[in-house]
Chain A
Amino acid sequence: MNAQPNASPKPTRDLATEIAEAAAFTRKHAVAAIYHAGSGHPGGVLSCADILASLYGAELNVWPNTINDPNRDRFVLSKGHAAPALYAVGAHYGFCDKKASLALRKIGSRFQGHPHVLDLPWVETSTGSLGQGFSVAIGMAMGLRLQRSTARVYTLLGDGEMQEGEVWEAAMCAAHHTLDNLCVLVDYNKLQSDNTNAAIMGLEPLAAKWRAFGWGVAEIDGHDINAILTALGRAALTHGRPSILIAHTVKGKGVPYMENIPQWHGSVKLTREQTVEALQALGATKSEIQELVDDGIG
C-alpha cells in the first residue's frame, strides 16, 4: 500500500459497534430468508456479512435517498449467490423493506436468487455468473474517471470465483488502466461448492498473484470490523493502481454447525429446527426468532 498507516481514518468504537450490529442483523435476516426460500447459499452469505456491513455502514458514499446520484460510490456483488446477505444489509440500512426481502427466491418477488438491477436499482448491476461483476465494476470505474467523478467503485468476489479466466482478464485490465478508484474485496473462506479451494483448483499464492498483476494488496481478517475499515481507508488513499483486500473469513461464520463445511455452500434447504438453532447461535432473541421464522413473510 502506498498510504502511510497513520493516514487512515481511525474508526471510532461506536462506528465499529454499529457495524457489528448491522452484520449480526444481516446474518440473522439472511438465514431466515434462506429458510423461507427453501434454498440458498448460507455458508458464503455468513462469511461476507462483516464485509458488507462495513461497506454500507461506513465506506460507501451512498444512502437510500442518493441511489440516483451520479457521484455516489458503487458496490457490485460479484459473488451474486450471496444475494441474501446483500438484501439483508440493504434492509438494515433502508435500501429495501425488511419484511419484503424475506420473500427471497419466491415467484413475483423482487428478491431473486441473484441480484437483478431491474428489480432493485440499488444493487447497481445484475450478477450471478461469476467474474462478470468484477468486469462491470471496471467499466464503472473507467466511466467515472472519464467523467472526472470522485466516486469510488467496490466489488466483492468469492474465492472460488477467482478460478474464472475473466477475473484475470479483469485483473490485468484494471492495473493496466491504473484504476485507483477501484477496490476489490475477496471473501476468502477457502471453500467452494464441492470442496476446499485447494482440492478443486488451488488459488495460492493468492496475494503474490495479485501483487504480480500490479495491484496494491492487503490481507486482513474479514471478521475484524476495525481491520476492514482501516484497510478500506488505506485503499482509498492508494494512487496509481487498484487495490485488493484479501479478507480471510470463515464459511458459515457464526453458526457452529455450518462453519468450515463446504456442504453449506448451498444451495441447501434449511429445516425449521436448523434455522432456529442457527438463529440462536447468531444471538437472536425469542421474539426475533418468532418474527423471522414464524410470522408471515412480506
Chain B
Amino acid sequence: MTALAEAPALIGTSGDSLREAFGKALSGLADEFSNVVVLDADIAGGTGVHHFRKSHPERFLQFGIAEQNMMAAAGGLAAVGMLPVVTTFAVFCLRAIEQARLSLAYARRNAKIVASHPGIDVGPDGGSAQALEDLAAFRAIPGMTVISPADPVETALATRAILEFDGPVYMRTGRSPATRVFGDGHSFTIGKGTIVRDGSDVTIVACGVEVGRAIEAADSLAREGIAARVVNMATIKPIDTELLVQCAEETGCIVTAEDHNIHGGLGGAVAEALAATRPCPIEFVGVRDTFGASGEPDELAVAFGIGSGHIAEAARRAVARK
C-alpha cells in the first residue's frame, strides 16, 4: 500500500468531474445502502470508485481487466440480494453489452452500470476510447433506464436516485472537469427533464456536458434576439415526452445536443417521441456518424461540431424552419 499511496494520482481524480462526483456520492451513500457492492475492472482511479474502495474495501470487488465476466457477475450478485454497481469506461461497457442484455436486463436484475469516459469529452486518449454509441446501444435494450447527468451536483443526486430505483440502469458520468450548471437546490427525478433556462423561440434539449454548452449558446442567441429555452434531459430513457410536447407547442422547434453519435442517442429519442405526438422541426447536434480523435475536450467539441457555436447555429436553422 505504501507504494500505491506514494504513486502520482491519476489525472482527473482530483478535478470537479462527473466521475469524481459519482465516486464521492457513492462512497457517502454506502452505509445507507448496505447491500451495495462495487465492481471494478482495474480502473477505480479513473471511474471515481477509488473513494468507495477506500471507505468500504470489503464491498469493493476487483474483477481485473475482464469486463464480460464482471458485467454478468453483477447479475449473480443481484440475484442473491446484493445491489451491484458495475463501473468501467463507457467504451468497455459496449464490450460487455451482451452480458448487460442477458444477465442484467433480460433477467430484470436490480443492477447499475455506471460508465465514465463517454464521448469526445474523453479527450487525449483519442478515438478508440471515445464511446459515441453507448446511449443508442443501451437505449435499445428493453427495460434499461439510461441516464446522463449534466454536472457534478446532478451526478451526485442521480447516484442516489439510481440506488433507490428498482431495475437495471446505465448511467454516464464524464472524464473531464465539468462546468457547474446547478446550485445546491437542484433536484433530480428519473424520467423527468427540467427547464434550466426559459425561452419562447426554440428549445435546446441537451444531456451531459452539452447542457453547459447549450446554456452558452442560449446566451449568444439572446444577443441576437432569439429566446432559447434550455432543457436538461438527463434521462434519455424513459424520455420525458410530456415536457417535449409542451416545449414543441410553446417554442415550435427543437434542437437536440449530445456528446454522442447523432444516430440513436438523445436526438433519436426526442425525434421518436415528438414524431408520435407533436411533430415539429428538429435539428440534431452530435458527432456526425464518425469516430473521435485525440485533443482537449473543448478543442474536440469545436472540431466535431458539438460546441456552443454549433448549437447556436442549429437553433437558427430550427427557427428558420418554423
Contact = CB atoms under 8 A, between A and B. Distances in A.
Interface string B99-129: 1001100111000000000000000000000
A294 interface: no
A132 interface: yes
A61 to B, nearest CB: 14
Nearest to B74: A139
A64 interface: no
B107 A117 contact: yes
B73 A136 contact: yes
B46 interface: no
A176 B76 CA distance: 17
Secondary structure call for the A interface: helix
A62 to B, nearest CB: 13
Secondary structure call for the B interface: helix
Contacts of A284: none
B82 interface: yes
B273 to A, nearest CB: 27
A172 B75 CA distance: 18
Contact of A143 (B64, B81, B106): B81
B68 interface: yes
Given A132-B99, A173-B64, A125 B69 contact: no
A173 B66 contact: yes
B63 interface: yes
Given A139-B74, A173-B66, A125 B59 contact: no
A157 to B, nearest CB: 13
A147 B59 CA distance: 11
B69 A138 contact: yes
A169 B103 contact: no
B103 A142 contact: no
Nearest to A151: B80
A126 B107 contact: yes
Contact of A136 (B58, B75, B82): B75
A250 B227 CA distance: 74
B270 to A, nearest CB: 31
Interface in B45-94: 58-59, 61, 63-64, 66, 68-82, 84
A200 interface: no
A125 B37 CA distance: 19
B103 A136 contact: yes
B81 A70 contact: yes
B98 interface: yes
Interface string A160-197: 00000110011011001000000000000000000000
Given A125-B75, A136-B76, A170 B37 contact: no
A253 interface: no
Interface string A65-79: 000001000101000
Nearest to B106: A126
Contacts of A132: 72, 75, 98-99, 102-103
Interface in B225-240: none
Contacts of A234: none
Interface in B195-211: none
A125 B59 CA distance: 23
A128 B102 CA distance: 8
B69 A143 contact: no
Contacts of B68: 131, 135, 165-166, 169
Contacts of A172: 64, 66
A59 interface: no
B108 A118 contact: yes
Contacts of A149: 80
Given A124-B79, A129-B98, A173-B63, A166 B103 contact: no
B27 to A, nearest CB: 18
A149 B80 CA distance: 10
A116 interface: yes
B72 A166 contact: yes
A176 B64 contact: yes
Nearest to B39: A139
Contacts of A124: 79
A139 B79 contact: yes
Contact of B69 (A118, A141, A166): A166
A51 interface: no
Given A126-B106, A129-B98, A172-B66, A135 B80 contact: no
A140 interface: yes
Interface of A: 70, 74, 76, 116-118, 124-129, 131-132, 135-144, 146-147, 149, 165-166, 169-170, 172-173, 176
21 contacts: A124-B79, A125-B79, A125-B107, A127-B102, A128-B102, A131-B68, A135-B72, A135-B73, A136-B76, A137-B76, A139-B75, A139-B76, A139-B77, A142-B37, A143-B77, A144-B80, A146-B37, A166-B99, A170-B73, A172-B66, A173-B69
Given A166-B99, A173-B66, 19 more contacts: A74-B80, A118-B107, A126-B102, A126-B107, A135-B69, A135-B99, A135-B103, A136-B72, A136-B75, A136-B103, A139-B74, A139-B77, A139-B78, A139-B80, A142-B73, A142-B77, A143-B79, A143-B82, A146-B82
Closest 10 CB pairs of A and B: A139-B76, A135-B72, A139-B73, A169-B66, A169-B69, A143-B80, A140-B76, A136-B76, A139-B77, A166-B68
